[in-house]
Amino acid sequence: MLKVILSGLCVLAAAAPLAAAVSPANIAGRWQGKSWAQQEHEASLTLDIVRCGEGWCGIKVASDNTCGATALKIGAGKVEPDSDYIAFEGSLQLAPKTEPYVVQVSIFEPDADEGPGKPLKLQITGDTGGQFRAYRRSFPYEAQLVRSGDAVCHAPQTVSSLR
């Protein structure tokens, strides 16, 4: 009987991290990685994502760690049913006076085969034209980032998360 109880507790303990998975608040922090824009070469991207109104803002961080403009504006995020990630929708504008991408941002835990203690991952997928079309074959903008620490930059007081 003791073996049955212990094995049941082991199963519950192993399943607990899965149940506690990722929440929308996990998006806060510094994210770094590679980005790709259509017909351009790979580039490095660093964003400090912080609370901004009802949603989140991503402040672009320069290579010398100085805080730049707000580049990413996304909503509060929603948990996708029967999945292991959180989806956020909004816009990404990496340079002034350019058309912003309509983006879907997802955060998720690394694959189990990568081992324990690996940082969360963030995927940004962007489209032009004012509407995100999730079922296209390729996207004009993509970025894969990993959480590298806490955010240092702050969103301006006047920024709305969905403007």
DSSP per-residue letters across the chain: -HHHHHHHHHHHHHHHHHHT---GGGG-EEEEEEEEETTS--EEEEEEEEEETTEEEEEEE-TTS-EEEEEEEE-S-EEPTTSSEEEEEEEE--STTSPPEEEEEEEEPPPGGG-TTPPPEEEEEEESSSS--TT-S--SEEEEEEEEE-------TT--TT-
Question: Domains plus CATH for the chain?
Answer: 23-149 (2.40.128)
Per-residue pLDDT of the chain (163 residues; tens, 9 = 90+): 444 333 433 333 333 343 346 788 999 999 999 988 755 667 899 999 999 999 999 999 999 999 999 999 999 998 877 777 889 999 999 988 888 999 999 998 887 777 777 888 999 998 887 776 666 666 788 899 999 999 999 987 665 444 4
Q: 111: number of CA atoms within 13 Å, CB side? A: 2
